[in-house]
Amino acid sequence: MTAEHRIVFVTGKGGVGKSSVAAASALQFARRGQSVLLVEFGKRSFFGPFLGLEVGNDTVQWRPRIGVACWDVEEALREYISHYLVFKSAATKILSNTVMKALVGAAPGLGEIAILGKLTAPRLHAWYKRDVDVVVVDAYATGQFMTLLRAPRGLAGTAAGGPLHRQTVAMTKLLSDPKLCEYRMVTLAEEMPVAEACEMFVDIQTETGLQPRLYCNRMLDLPPLAKPQSFASAGPFLEQMQSLATRQKLSLKRLSQTGAKAVHTLPMVPMLNVVTLLERLADALELAEVAQDAAP
């Protein structure tokens, strides 16, 4: 793994388009000439049908410089534990699916540690190699993501010493290092997603000391609108558009009250073509980053 390696977490309330933004983020970094691994968690892959790939635990190529993988918690736990067994060749037989499920259920936080252990292993262990510049994580939705982030600190507090304590302390430091980790939060210009995003913005900053980048997705660039009474036949449509414009404005204002350095907007892309959607979102992500870097 190169010295410039970063981990970019993309999270947000379910349904706000975080997975699309994660894929577009991978595309954004690949355009810069960086090698990227796009990762999702779970047994079922979103990116498989979305990108037309057979996505599993092993990395598959999507585009030049972009690989995609779907990491299962139980498989990650098996891999994590096997590295600390004396007889590693017996790990697969010993750590059956039944055993993995029992371990995850019996030890809160262990599944999260396994996932984070796999994610951060190249930074923590010389024997683990992953030759990419950036890992983009299509992370869990808001509440579950905070459980993931808090797991290392929680387990470090319960283990007074030993390998688990050392590793979880190292994970906590890594997740709080601005040179290594970045957090991207996706929301919509709607009341509930904005409220959840504001709360999670504070939670991530409190837990890691890092300020997430805020992205308000599916925004419409609306021109000045005529008064509804000026055009009787178009009155209902104009009223709807004015209501949308007001909601977008209020949502951006509320998001800015978090103290975020900037609230970035991503466009509504009214196309069914996945490639076009991701290209447009990648364009917007790059423009947002350039604008933020240029800000005083």
56 lies in a domain? yes
The total number of residues shown for the chain amounts to 296
Residue 128 included in any domain: yes
Task: Measure the CA–CA gap between 240 and 231, rounded to whole angstroms.
Answer: 14
CB 212 within 8 A of CB 201: yes
If you write DSSP's letter for every residue of 24-63 in order, what string do you get? Answer: HHHHHHHHTT--EEEEEESSS-SHHHHHT----SS-EEEE
| 6-12 and 66-71 strand pairing | unpaired
Point out which residues pair with 182 in neighbouring strands: 8
Check which CATH number belongs to the domain holding 281 and give it.
3.40.50.300
Please write down the long-range contacts of 151-155, taking CB distance under 8 Å and 24 or more positions apart. 151/109, 151/112, 151/113, 151/116, 152/113, 152/116, 153/207, 154/109, 155/109, 155/110, 155/113
pLDDT given for residue 86 in this prediction? 43
Token pair belonging to 202: 């504070």
3-state secondary structure of 110: helix
What DSSP element (H or E) covers 66? Answer: strand 66-71
Instruction: For residue 1, tell me if it sits in a domain.
Output: no
3-class SS of residue 70:
strand
Residue 244 pLDDT: 86
- Report the distance separating Cα 10 and Cα 33, nearest Å: 20
Q: Return the pLDDT at 253.
A: 97
* Number of domains within the chain: 1
Domain extent at residue 245: 6-294
- What residues have CB less than 8 Å from 189, skipping those under 6 apart? 216, 218, 219, 247, 248, 251, 252
Residue 117 to residue 129: CA distance in whole angstroms: 13
255 part of a folded domain: yes
pLDDT by residue for the chain (296 residues), tens only, comes to: 344 469 999 999 999 999 999 999 999 999 999 999 999 998 899 999 999 999 999 999 999 999 999 998 878 877 776 665 444 555 555 555 554 455 445 455 777 888 898 888 776 665 566 789 999 999 999 889 999 999 888 877 776 677 777 888 889 999 999 999 999 999 999 999 999 999 999 999 999 999 999 999 999 987 765 565 555 666 676 777 788 888 999 999 999 999 999 999 999 998 779 999 999 999 999 999 888 777 66
pTM of structure: 0.87
- According to DSSP, the β-strands at 263-267 and 6-12 are unpaired
Going by C-alpha positions, the residue among 116, 108, 114 that lies closest to residue 9 is: 116
